[in-house]
Amino acid sequence: MPRILLATLGSLGDLHPYIAVGRALVDRGHRARIATTLEYREAVEGAGLEFAPVRPPMEALGDRREIAERLFDPLRGVERLLREIVMPHLHEAHRDLANAAADADLLVSHPLTYTLPIVAWQQRKPWLSSVLAPMSLLSAHDPPAVAGFDALRLAHRLGPRVYAAVFRFVRRIVRRWEAPLHAFRRELGLPATNQVMTFEGQFSPLGTLALFDGALAEPQPDWPARTIVCGAAVFDGAGDPAQIAELERFLAAGEPPLVFALGSSAVWIADGYWQHAVAAAQRLGRRAILLSGEGVLPRLPDGVRAFAYLPYSRVFPHATVVIHQAGVGTLAQALRAGRPQLITPVAFDQPDNARRAARLGLARVLPFARVDARRFERELTQLLDEPRYGEAAMAVARTVSARDGAGYAADHVLATLAAQA
């Protein structure tokens, strides 16, 4: 029975799609192992999958709130992620992934698992790359919106020559951030490469699984060869039964609420956000649910409830509007709920995901840094008063729900494995 290794690094939004694909592989009679940070062992094994730890554990990186504040900086967040989190731990991550892959038959990488292609080369194993958001494909024909640095989209509007010049500049910067990775490759005796591993160097010649909904991006001629748009691979766990029961009681007690969610990372920098959310809900005379993570909130008024965690699939469909940060996992669930969205992107792929959702006609965008009660009220009023947002949301929900992204990805993984036999 073949074993597939799925490697990932990051937040729950980076974990859940691979759990979904792993479960689909198990349903097809194969073994699936997820290699990721130690904190996710319970979630992975609870989903019926094998687990392999990859260093560093999150607790070794320091205080989560301080880490979130540094990484969600719009201008320097990506640089800090690479230079402070990923690059210093290449040797130990490589050893862990090599152990995890030793008895696997095919490997699947995440954009941040830089040493997995090295392991595949060393062990002569077939591997597929994967991306979770259109931004990772970095098309010159459809350039991403980047938080704090929208030079690529501006350059695109100014023409191909300007875009090429700006992109060369960006490549040189990111290549410098990757210096430890290229030194590690030389240490292992791998051939030198001019590729930027964060860009074109992350993609497998056997193909790339695009684990996002096709509604977000049309295929582009400069996407990596053999890119397969699978659709979002959706998983969000069972949740705490007591919290689910409390949710159901709250939903039954009144009109559909506004639902505010910030994923599993941005919640660490969101203290003021929740205060503005509560104030806006009161101004609008609306009930509200806050999915606030582990933070301690002040006493909430009647009609507002806070939950540390709820499966999005259990709460988003009951919202009157879903307000979220456009992490790709959160966005996938919001699209399937068929409800209008107010998107408050923070950093990384979120501004680009937000732009693409707004382009579908179902969402409005209010950048996280500009959130206050007045702006919340203004944007939510537009969404509540104009039926076109809800109509567009329902139409998109029907389209994206028709595709089993995890199953589609699993079938492609198995087809690739069979072709290499």
Instruction: Answer for the pair 256, 319: CB distance below 8 angstroms, yes or no.
Output: yes
Rounded distance, CA 260 to CA 341, Å? 10
pLDDT digits (tens, 9 = 90+) for 167-219: 888 889 999 999 999 999 999 999 889 999 999 999 999 999 999 999 999 99
Please report the pLDDT score of residue 336 as a whole number.
98
Tokens of 357: 């959702």
Task: Report d(CA 43, CA 162) in Å as an integer.
Answer: 46
**3-state SS assignment for residue 82:** helix
**Residue ranges of the chain with per-residue pLDDT less than 70:** 147-151, 156, 295-296
Question: pLDDT value at position 159?
Answer: 75
**For residue 367, is it left (φ>0), alpha (ψ between -120 and 50) or beta?**
beta
pLDDT at 107: 98
At residue 296, the pLDDT reads 65
Q: Which CATH class is domain 3-231+403-420?
A: alpha beta
The model's pTM: 0.94
What whole-number distance in Å separates Cα of residue 117 and Cα of residue 58? 23
Closest CA to 353 of 134, 202, 178: 134
For 241-401, the fitting CATH number among 3.40.50.720, 3.20.190.10, 3.40.50.2000, 3.30.365.10 is 3.40.50.2000
- For the chain, give every residue range classified as CATH 3.40.50.2000: 3-231+403-420, 241-401
**54 phi-psi bin (left φ>0, alpha ψ -120 to 50, beta other):** beta
Task: Kindly give, in sequence order, each residue whose CB lies less than 8 Å from that of residue 18, ignoring residues fewer than 6 positions away.
Answer: 6, 8, 34, 36, 108, 110, 233
Of 307, 313, 259, 267, the closest CA to residue 286 belongs to: 259
